[in-house]
Structure 1
Amino acid sequence: MTVYAALLRGIMPSNPNMSNEKLRGVFTGLGFTSVASVLSSGNIVFAAEEGDIAELEDRIQESLNAELGIPGGTIIRSEAELRELLDRDPFTGFTHGRDTYLTTTFFKRPGAPALPADDDPLTTIIGYDAEARAFLAVIDNSTPKTPNFMAWLERAYGKDITTRTWLTVQRIVKKMDAVQ
């Protein structure tokens, strides 16, 4: 068995159909084991036989849509992929906190995206991690002005992406370690 994390797009914890309990129910119904949630923002950890990731993503998304009406996207990463990303420590020298968010945007499919021009003064681009298929950036939240980085990401790359803070990625891996 392989431990995976499903990073679900568009989850709103205030929506009763998107509760962790219901999300876990869909995964359990698909026959996955060791199903657990991380926070209330669409992070599900589970164990399954190793297989084609794209097929697994499609199967989960079809069930989420059919059973709970969740049309968003599903992006899967294995424990090994996320652990290796953490071990590379791409945010060396930066600290995640109230004023500075370290963000990881996961891409569904391989292929390095064109990196944006660094023209947003509230965003520091770290780069693209090809092995994790993840775009890494630091967002400055210390001013009342809202960075437009997230909107830019969706315009540039479409909806086959999902973003998590570095702290959330760390929590997901910790949960994955616990279910093994």
Structure 2
Amino acid sequence: MESYAALLRGIMPTNPNMRNEKLRGVLEGLGFDKVASVLTSGNLVFRTGDDPADLEDRIQEALAAELGIPGGTIIRSHRVLRELLDRDPFDGLPHERGSYLTVTFFKHEMREADLSSFDDDPLTRVIGYDRDARAFLTVIDNSTGATPDFMARLEKTYGKDITTRTWLTVQRVVKKMES
């Protein structure tokens, strides 16, 4: 049995069909073990011996059929996320005002040329792309009072097969997978 995280796109906890207990129920209904939620924004962990190749599609199909959730599902194994944390791509930067650390997970691999997509944005510092985790790593400067259009720009540039989490959330997800 392997441990996985399902990172769901577009979850709004105010929608009754997107509450943690309903999301967990869908994964439990698929036969997964030790299903648990992390925060209230579509982070679920679970264990399964099933083939990981079709987990994203199976979960997304079940979420759409049972709860009407059309967003995307991105899966990462505990090993992949643990190794990402161990690499410390943010090199010890704190997650605080002025250095809001974000990880954008891609369903498919990102093209190397895409690393320059925020070169003209003074509020976004690109750390790089972690190929093993299929994750785009950035630091957002939110100390100026200006609201960066980071999320809209990510989707416009890379499409909808992505989902973004803070570095702190990724750490919490891994901790939950290890408990």
Task: Give the Cα separation in 2 of the matches to 1:134 and 1:20.
Answer: 25
Task: Give the Cα separation in 1 of the matches to 2:177 and 2:61.
Answer: 24
Residue 108, structure 1, aligned to residue 107, structure 2: yes
* Farther-moved stretch of structure 1 (40-49 vs 88-97): 88-97
Task: Give the Cα separation in 2 of the matches to 1:110 and 1:118.
Answer: 20
Displacement of 1:148 in angstroms is 1.6
Match for residue 47 of structure 2?
47
One-letter amino acid matched to 1:16? P
| Contact kept? 2:17, 2:67, Cα under 8 Å | yes
Match for residue 37 of structure 2?
37
- 3-state SS of 2:138 partner: strand
The residue correspondences of 1:127-146 to structure 2 (distance < 5 A) are 127-146=128-147
Match for residue 148 of structure 2?
147
TM-score computed with the length of structure 1 as normaliser: 0.95
- 3-state SS of 1:144 partner: coil
Displacement of 1:112 in angstroms is 3.2
Task: Give the Cα separation in 2 of the matches to 1:82 and 1:37.
Answer: 16
* Farther-moved stretch of structure 1 (70-79 vs 42-51): 42-51
The answer for unaligned runs of 5 or more in structure 1 is none
TM-score computed with the length of structure 2 as normaliser: 0.95
Match for residue 72 of structure 2?
73
* Farther-moved stretch of structure 1 (160-169 vs 105-114): 105-114
Match for residue 13 of structure 2?
13
Superposed CA RMSD: 1.1
Task: Give the Cα separation in 2 of the matches to 1:150 and 1:5.
Answer: 21
Task: Give the Cα separation in 2 of the matches to 1:48 and 1:132.
Answer: 20
Match for residue 83 of structure 1?
82
Match for residue 124 of structure 2?
123
* Farther-moved stretch of structure 1 (151-160 vs 112-121): 112-121
- 3-state SS of 1:96 partner: coil
Aligned pair count?
Answer: 177
| Contact kept? 1:4, 1:77, Cα under 8 Å | yes
Deviations 1:12-62 (A, max 9, x none): 011110000000000000000000000000000000114133x11000000
Task: Give the Cα separation in 1 of the matches to 2:163 and 2:16.
Answer: 21
Percentage of matched positions with identical amino acids? 71
Deviations 1:87-146 (A, max 9, x none): 000001421024421000000012434211411111111010101100000001112211
